[in-house]
Amino acid sequence: MEKPVSPSRSLVQMTELILPNHMNALGTAFGGVIMSWIDIAASISASRYCSKNVVTASIDDLHFLAPVHKGDVVCLRAQVNYTHKTSMEVGVRVTAENPRTQQHRHTVTAHLTFVALDENYKPTLIPPLLLETEEEKQRFKQAEMRRKWRLERRKQFT
């Protein structure tokens, strides 16, 4: 078994600026653009955690909580919350900042599942999480519950 790894090894902080080409007809950011950035940040986090290639297996319910406007600075923070044998859950929190007013708004929280791949593109074992703080233990416990729900939902559709 591999040596446990701290979730902090997987921390990714990514910043993007909302430009006119990111906007929809309502003058807010396209949800798909934000979703793409979420997937990128989470993928980097998962790969950084296990030092392997990874693929997105699922994205949990994704709810846009507040609009993102032209000129806003979007900050994405991603970190591994949970690991299983070959898969891991990465949580991503997205905030938007108005650079003129310094106001920050929580805009999206997402949970993505990634599978680590070996050189033959087959699922491969990953190290377990080394849970050091109460917050990490709480996120792990919540992610464990989400994994159970994901597997139950998957059975309904296969």
Domain count, the chain: 1
Query: Both tokens of residue 30?
Result: 């396209």
Which pair of tokens denotes residue 156?
Answer: 């309904």
Query: Is 143 inside any structural domain?
Result: yes
CB 71 within 8 A of CB 23: no
Residue 2 inside a domain? The answer is no
Residue 124 lies in a domain: yes
Is 36 among the domain residues? yes
115: helix, strand or coil = strand
Average pLDDT over residues 114-126: 97
Tell me the C-alpha distance between 35 and 117, whole Å. Answer: 23
pTM of the model: 0.94
pLDDT, mean of residues 42-68: 95
For 125-146, the pLDDT digits (tens) are 999 999 999 999 999 999 999 9
CATH number for 101:
3.10.129.10
Is residue 126 assigned to a domain? yes
Assigned domain for 71 exists: yes
Q: Which domain holds residue 118?
A: 7-157
Within-domain flag for 1 = no
